[in-house]
Amino acid sequence: MKQDIHAYLAEFDDIPGTRVFTAARARQGYWLNQFAMSLMKPENRERWKAGERAYLDQWQLSEAQKQAVLDRDYNRMLELGGNIYFLSKIFSTDGIPFAEACSTMTDMTFPEYRQMMLEGGRSPEGNRSLKGGTDMARITAGVGSSHVPLLGVAVDQGKTGDDYFGPIFKGYEWTKAWEAEQKPDVVVLVYNDHASAFDANIIPTFAIGCGERYKPADEGWGPRPVPDVEGHADLAWHIAQSLILDDFDMTIINEMTVDHGLTVPLSMMFGQPEKWPVKVIPLAVNVVTYPVPSGNRCWVLGEAIRRAVESFPEDLNVQVWGTGGMSHQLQGPRAGLLNREWDNRFMDLLIGDSQEARTIPHIEYLRETGSEGIEMVMWLIMRGALGPKTRCLHRHYHIPCSNTAIGHLVLEPLE
């Protein structure tokens, strides 16, 4: 039976993490591969080692191909038409064994890769097809937390164990240990911008960060001394597209700074590392200028985020964090309002299969929890993303921190 050449070639693109050396790639990579082959001659190796750039410039390579060679970025070379048998002449000239060179194309270090090979190699299970059989991203847990700026100050100034902050931070110790075990790959971090990245000019209701990295914002007292936040642009763009097709008109942000609303929860969960151990997709919600999104809209957005994450063909452990609140009022003669009973009832409603929290009207948050207590609607995005039913893994509540009540909840989806 004659094969349809288009169907035949299309199947190659369905193999995860693999670039088949088709005729198109052979043409694209002709000079790249010929350059690599030239390193089989000792006199050429000498010239190459004496000046890589000058040697490369003698070949008809595209600038992108030259850069990939100079960076020893083998995945990029493959993408640009390189073939591994030819490219091996480059790492052989560098004195690097084949297995080590292969490890640079994976997400493993060489020792990790070598260990995987000793244990029987990479399994074809889950690695056969992008359409079927590939492990998909999944939401494994939800975290709710206050994001009070004073908590960031306590971390940055080493005061987390003192009489005032000690009881607050004690309630996060369980979560720090749990996060270290869970090792999430990505956190979709729902927070509100406190007039830092967005000024009065632009007020997006829902904005998703699709950039590669974000610097901490200078909120008037200099940026927090915390690492830059690394994004997950591929997943973020996928979520953005999926949400827009799901009728959420997201604002897409490529560049922005992130304020305490995002960095304080990271500090609470991970302490003071050199580098944050997760990639973060910032999801900023307007809870400043009314009308802010309804609780129900937030919940439904969470459900749509779940669908988006679960359709991303990569084995990623994703958590959704809802931050802000709990009860607090920072303005006017009623400043300082706290409502322990209401806050705890709200947390109760997020555990199990209750749908009641999504119908709480804005006026109830405002009356009962203070003008800034409305930040709690953001927890409903996290709750919606966990599906019909949840189980509580950890819970903490403390009054006061600055002008607010501190609330913290770790939830696991049950279905």
Task: Point out the residues that are catalytic.
Answer: 260, 328
Compare residues 343 and 375 and give the one whose CB is closer to Fe ion.
Answer: 375
Shortest Å, Cβ 313 to Fe ion:
35
Nearest distance from C-beta of residue 264 to Fe ion, angstroms: 9
Q: Is 312 helix (H, G, I), strand (E, B) or coil?
A: coil
**Nearest residue to Fe ion, scored by beta-carbon proximity:** 324
Q: Residue 364 corresponds to which amino acid?
A: E
Written as one string, the DSSP assignment of 104-169 is TTTTS-HHHHHHHHHTT---STT-S-SSSSSPPPEEEEEEEE---HHHHHHHHTT-TTSTTTHHHH
CB of 301 to Fe ion, least distance (A): 18
Helix pair angle (42-50, 84-93), 10° resolution: 70
CA distances (Å), 112 to each of 127, 202, 274, in order?
Answer: 18, 46, 22
Maximum distance among all Cα pairs of the chain, rounded to whole angstroms? 83
Alpha-carbon gap, residue 268 to 289, rounded angstroms: 27
3-state SS class at 383: helix
Concatenate the DSSP letters of all residues of 263-283 into one string: HHHHHHHH-S-SS-SSEEEEE
Nearer to Fe ion, 319 or 403 (CB): 403
> In the complex with Fe ion, which residue's Cβ is closer, 103 or 196?
196
Q: How far is the CB of 149 from Fe ion (least distance, A)?
A: 8
Report, in Å, the least distance between residue 328 CB and Fe ion.
Answer: 8
Output 185 or 375, the one with its CB closest to Fe ion: 375
Residues found near Fe ion in the complex (CB under 5 A): 324, 375
Q: Which is nearer to Fe ion, 56 or 378 (CB)?
A: 378
CA distance 192 to 377: 11
Q: Which residues pair with 207 in a beta bridge?
A: 251, 284
Nearer to Fe ion, 134 or 339 (CB): 339
Report the nearest approach of Fe ion to the CB of residue 187 (Å). 17
Cβ-based neighbour number of residue 2 at 10 Å: 4
